[in-house]
Amino acid sequence: MVDGTLGAVGAVPPAEVEDMELYHPKSWVTRYVFCQDAKVISIQYSLTALSIGLVALVLSWLMRLQLGFPSVFSFIDANAYYQFITMHGMIMVIYLLTAILLGGFGNYLIPLMVGARDMVFPYVNMLSYWVYLLAVLVLVASFFVPGGATGAGWTLYPPQAILSGTPGRDWGIILMLASLIIFIVGFTMGGLNYVVTVLQARTRGMTLMRMPLTVWGIFTASVMALLAFPALFVGAVMMLFDRVLGTSFFMPALVEMGQQLQYGGGSPILFQHLFWFFGHPEVYIVALPAFGIVSDLISTHARRNIFGYRMMVWAIVAIGALSFVVWAHHMYVSGMNPYFGFFFATTTLIIAIPTAIKVYNWVLTLWLGDIHLTVPMLFALGFIVTFISGGLTGLFLGNAVVDVPLSDTMFVVAHFHMVMGVAPILVIFGAIYHWYPKVTGRMLNEALGQLHFWITFLGAYAIFFPMHYLGLVGVPRRYHELGEAAFNTPSVGTLNAFITIVALIVGAAQLVFLFNLAWSLVRGKEAGGNPWKATTLEWQTPETPPAHGNWGKELPVVYRWAYDYSVPGAEEDFVPQNQPVVARAGAREGAPA
């Protein structure tokens, strides 16, 4: 073990950056629109992602209306229902969660947290946003083309995705695939920035093991996304060929409406492999940044160093690596060799180990902490609870034998909404409440934040907990109408109506959040530079909101890790990362091993 303590402070040379290196906006347009400053790009990403996310929220309302009150709303026919399902899933997973966690939080937090002036390739970074926006616009356009958006389900499984029985078969699916391809190109531009900035642009003293876990999470997720998205790219290109040019990559020989189609010999399973090779890492691409952010929220608001920092880092890396060898657990029912199923069930369950380590460490960080129940902390706590309950049902589904009867029921819907929908969204809300003061210089309103949290948190449970029961009694997912079936008992109908009403309320409650965002921008309490008394570098900027270039003339020097809270003998209960050695009483104790 290298003992790197207490080097002479004066030995660090000042690191001034000449003006040449910085990009300087020359006009209003290059300052706010075509801007190369990562902070502006972050806001652009976040606002775009939240806007398209609202569209997906409304789509989920429409679906719930049909499920809760079948046949009441005549405009939601089976085709429309499938279109809503598909677009809701695709938007939420890719265009909201991936975009806001990596493009939004990544752009804002990486340069500030590692002490850089900006991303390493600012021009490419700017392009990344505009390409993302184009992808979103192409996606939105698919609502308005003849035949409407695709209704193939968010997994876009062939052959049904491009057969004439599926809504949106004419143009919707083409625009969907094109939008995905554009998104992946745009993401690759951004992802290169996130990864290389962490590798190259850390300020002096910022070793990898001094990085906040937020940066670790976003960094690892970006690496994973760079390696996983190409699989979706390949799948999308090949399916586009099948649809537009008549190739048979995925399309088997088919008879449609009594007519032999020109396709033949293709393999739908091949698409499933490609899709899930992307699709499972995608779960962790969303989860790892959330893990990182929540670690920092908990540590800051419990005024306690994160328990087992090293384990947290190792767990992030281990989850990132393992998530590439579990993809076929989404395909247990595709008729695969049982030995494959055994292999993938094993790897799937092994992932539970590093994940459980993280959960224990969060709980142990809270243990005896000085917990401040601020709004970000409430969301962080809500995340832990939700992630545990969502993760435990994952253990059910990870077992091939248990999965077979539960596959394609509402149980699956409940599982992934808890673990991949609600949990990361809670983190995103918490993170917005946490960093909004840095972005705008003003606090979000506390009372409105509490209201928003309680409705969202309790509402999410009221929505998704009963769905587990629906799944266990056999209610299938993706059904427009349940009809006469043994599982369609009166209690199922009542429960569905209940879920719908709660979903409407929770969705509407998000308006409180939007109002808070807008109102606090003007009327919020002045935040000052470091309202949460946090240690990480983004709170130590000379100006709030940080000016272009983030730091003054000199880059900060880092002297310590990111979690020096409640250090015995220190003057305050936090020691910023860029503060030189402090006098303190006695040796430090109680640091976790």
Partner 1 sequence: MSATVLFLAVIAIVVAWWLSQQRLTAKPWLEEGPVAHLPGQAEPALPAAKVGLVVFLAVVGILFALFTSAYLMRMHMGDWRPLPDPRVLWLNTGVLVVSSYALHRARAAAAGGDIGAVKTGLLAGGASALLFLAGQLWAWQQLAAGGYFLASNPANAFFYLITGVHGLHLAGGLVALGRTTAKAWRGGRAEEVLLSVELCATYWHFLLGVWLVLFALLLAT
Instruction: Catalog residues that contact partner 1 under the rule CB under 8 A.
Output: 1-7, 9, 11-12, 120-121, 188, 192, 195-196, 199-201, 204-205, 207-210, 223, 226-227, 230-231, 233-234, 237-238, 241, 245-249, 262, 264-267, 270, 273-274, 277, 305, 309-310, 313-314, 317, 321, 324-325, 557-561, 563-564, 581, 588, 591-593
Q: Give min distance, CB of 479 to partner 1, in A.
A: 32
CA 390, 52, 294: angle at the middle one, nearest 5?
40
Q: Give min distance, CB of 591 to partner 1, in A.
A: 4
Residue type at 565 in one-letter notation: Y
**Run of H or E including 256:** strand 255-256
* CA–CA gap between residue 359 and residue 266 (Å, rounded): 43
Of 403 and 564, nearer to partner 1 (C-beta) is: 564
Q: Give min distance, CB of 122 to partner 1, in A.
A: 11
Q: Give min distance, CB of 384 to partner 1, in A.
A: 23
Q: Give min distance, CB of 305 to partner 1, in A.
A: 6
Of 135 and 502, nearer to partner 1 (C-beta) is: 135
Of 209 and 547, nearer to partner 1 (C-beta) is: 209
**Phi/psi of residue 328, nearest 5 degrees:** -75, 0
Of 54 and 196, nearer to partner 1 (C-beta) is: 196
Of 306 and 413, nearer to partner 1 (C-beta) is: 306
* CA–CA gap between residue 344 and residue 268 (Å, rounded): 20
Of 51 and 260, nearer to partner 1 (C-beta) is: 260
Q: Give min distance, CB of 474 to partner 1, in A.
A: 33
Of 265 and 483, nearer to partner 1 (C-beta) is: 265
* Residues 185/100, Cβ–Cβ less than 8 Å: no
Terminal Cα distance for the chain, rounded: 13
* Residues 106/170, Cβ–Cβ less than 8 Å: no
C-beta contacts of 234-239 below 8 A and 24+ residues apart? 234/274, 235/271, 235/274, 235/275, 235/278, 236/177, 236/180, 236/181, 236/184, 237/177, 237/181, 238/271, 238/274, 239/156, 239/158, 239/161, 239/162, 239/173, 239/177, 239/271
Helices (H) and strands (E) in the chain, counts: 17, 2
Q: Give min distance, CB of 492 to partner 1, in A.
A: 39
**Phi/psi of residue 574, nearest 5 degrees:** -145, 145
Of 7 and 528, nearer to partner 1 (C-beta) is: 7
DSSP assignment letter at 530? -
DSSP assignment letter at 297? H
Of 361 and 456, nearer to partner 1 (C-beta) is: 361
Of 476 and 592, nearer to partner 1 (C-beta) is: 592
Of 208 and 511, nearer to partner 1 (C-beta) is: 208
Q: Give min distance, CB of 302 to partner 1, in A.
A: 16
Strand partners, 16: 554
Of 137 and 209, nearer to partner 1 (C-beta) is: 209
Q: Give min distance, CB of 208 to partner 1, in A.
A: 5
* The three-state (H, E, C) secondary structure of 408-454, written as one string: CEHHHHHHHHHHHHHHHHHHHHHHHHHHHHHHHCECCCHHHHHHHHH
Residue type at 411 in one-letter notation: F
Q: Give min distance, CB of 134 to partner 1, in A.
A: 18
* CA–CA gap between residue 469 and residue 475 (Å, rounded): 9
* Residues 424/505, Cβ–Cβ less than 8 Å: no
Q: Return the closest-CA partner of residue 403 out of 321, 342, 339.
A: 342
Q: How far is CA 344 from CA 109, 285, 329, 348, 408, in A?
A: 35, 19, 6, 6, 19
Q: Give min distance, CB of 537 to partner 1, in A.
A: 14
* CA–CA gap between residue 431 and residue 88 (Å, rounded): 23
* CA–CA gap between residue 371 and residue 381 (Å, rounded): 11
Q: Give min distance, CB of 549 to partner 1, in A.
A: 17
